[in-house]
Chain A
Amino acid sequence: MTTTERPIVLPGDTIPPHLIPSSTTKPLRLGPGLRHVPPSDIVPVVAGQLITNHQKNSMWVEYNNNRYLPTPGDLIIAQITRSGPDFYYCLLSPYTPHATLPHLSFESATKKTRPQLLPGSLVYARVILANKHMDPEIECVSQSTGKSDGLGELKGGMVFDVSLQFARRLLMSRSREEGKVEVLELLGEEGLAFEIAVGRNGKIWVGGEDVKVVVAVGRALRETDEAGLGVEEQRRLVRRLVKGMK
């Protein structure tokens, strides 16, 4: 039964041993939400669904919380609040310390040809440094290759707030099967022209020429997230919205 394979766990629960993947070749990898208490205890620290992957010999907890904690490697949407001597100071989530974005951390930027970002503008960036002792640092260009890979300033459009879990489901490589979210694909199939940037910090930027399209896409995302719609319901929602636009 699928429910027993993915049980809901609470912080401090004991995990039944038959759920822990045991493989003699690969070491067990613990993902977010689990903590190893030596010598042999694995304890969940958040409330959520316990997922195990027997091929990769890993396990983690899928949980939804409202506070985004920066992790190195995450793609996020940040808003610039002010400019310092060498950095832009950006906000990833409200009421948190500012993240720093170096002025030259854009594709082919030099001191003379760097983009001048005004306070209030949005950037799609990657977190490079995040720990509990220091303010996070983000970048808009990959350190090793020097290419931006889609990162950089987001011009125009509108930002919508969604829950963290929804953003994670959208960013999954197989969002249709694993994340059960295909609202974006459906909207594209209906012929709407728009651009999307999904930030792991719970923000989705929708850009496009037609304001009606942008608003419709945003509403579709918000309703899918808030109402927890399944795939069939998403289809109906999209059809309703497109009909309302015409």
Chain B
Amino acid sequence: MTTSNPTLAIPGQLLGSTSKYQPGPGTHIHNHNVHASLMGTVHIAQPAKAPGPVKRLTKITPAPAPAELPTISVAVPTRSAGPDHASQKKREVLPEVGNVVLCRVIRITPRQAVVAILVCGDTVLDAEWQGLIRVQDVRATEKDRVKIYESFRPGDIVRAEVISLGDQANYYLSTARNELGVILATSEAGNAMHPVSWKEYRDSETGLTELRKVAKPY
């Protein structure tokens, strides 16, 4: 009895056996069966054509190699792409160690600045991930004399580098390079500011300066 392949899958749904399919994104293996992990549409990708069988007299040919099995995957349909299955390979972008990210400062305490990571590399993230910039990661020099209030303020946009994936709640970020730091800041009076040195921003209207850890413009 052949069961027709389901076109829609819900998490946990049995898709097929591992002897027939290779698991792709959105699926997992349980008891030698491929189950769906996401709710979405099922796609089967045929493998690249294997080279023709070589006739050997004495060799016992094994079962088809895993690379020759079709790959079954589940993709969540995106709103923008219509029923076009070929473009539904978009995966969620996550910050990795070493990525340069743009983030907004949410809260400052004397020991760290809590930020929300908005942009990773060139991609604007769908969800905001929380990050921490610890006081010893703000600068490369004189780490023990850093004052968070003179480096960041809530609302600043900061370019930072991910140094660790951290724990459940936070990524750990660092601004300890010349080109990392605050790139956009608003003054106490509410006006836009322009940078004047590595540690000062000046309000364009009132002329007052405020201290920040300024990123070197490219």
Q: Tell me the chain A residues, 121-150 only, with Cβ under 8 Å from chain B.
A: 129, 131, 133-135, 137
Does A191 count as interface, using CB distance less than 8 angstroms?
no
Q: Determine if B149 and A131 form an interchain contact, defined as CB atoms under 8 angstroms apart.
A: yes
Q: Determine if B205 and A134 form an interchain contact, defined as CB atoms under 8 angstroms apart.
A: no
Q: Determine if A137 and B110 form an interchain contact, defined as CB atoms under 8 angstroms apart.
A: yes
Query: Which interface class (under 10, 10 to 19, 20 to 34, 35 or more) fits B?
Result: 10 to 19
Min CB distance B181 to A, Å, is 18
Q: Determine if B205 and A133 form an interchain contact, defined as CB atoms under 8 angstroms apart.
A: no
Q: Determine if A134 and B206 form an interchain contact, defined as CB atoms under 8 angstroms apart.
A: no
Main secondary structure of the interface of A (DSSP, over half): strand
Nearest opposing residue in chain A for B205, CB measure: A38
Min CB distance A170 to B, Å, is 31
User: Which residue from A38, A100, A133 sits with its C-beta under 8 Å from B149?
Assistant: A133
Q: Determine if B154 and A133 form an interchain contact, defined as CB atoms under 8 angstroms apart.
A: yes
Residues from chain A with Cβ under 8 Å of B213 in the complex: none
Residues from chain B with Cβ under 8 Å of A137 in the complex: 110
Does B109 count as interface, using CB distance less than 8 angstroms?
yes
Q: Determine if B108 and A38 form an interchain contact, defined as CB atoms under 8 angstroms apart.
A: no
Nearest opposing residue in chain B for A131, CB measure: B149
Min CB distance B191 to A, Å, is 10
**Also in contact, A133 and B153, with CB within 8 A (given A38-B205, A38-B206):** yes
- Cα A129 to Cα B109 in complex, Å, equals 11
- Cα A133 to Cα B154 in complex, Å, equals 7
**Also in contact, A134 and B153, with CB within 8 A (given A38-B205, A38-B206):** no
- Cα A133 to Cα B153 in complex, Å, equals 8
Residues from chain A with Cβ under 8 Å of B153 in the complex: 133
Min CB distance A147 to B, Å, is 22
Flag B99-143 by CB within 8 Å of A: 1 or 0 each. 000000001111000000000000000000000000000000000
Residues from chain A with Cβ under 8 Å of B107 in the complex: 133
- Cα A38 to Cα B190 in complex, Å, equals 13
Flag B150-191 by CB within 8 Å of A: 1 or 0 each. 000110000000000000000000000000000000000000
Min CB distance A191 to B, Å, is 47
Residues from chain B with Cβ under 8 Å of A134 in the complex: 108-110, 148-149
Residues from chain A with Cβ under 8 Å of B148 in the complex: 134
In addition to A129-B110, A135-B109, 10 A-B residue pairs with Cβ atoms within 8 Å of each other are: A38-B205, A38-B206, A129-B149, A131-B149, A133-B153, A134-B108, A134-B110, A134-B148, A134-B149, A137-B110
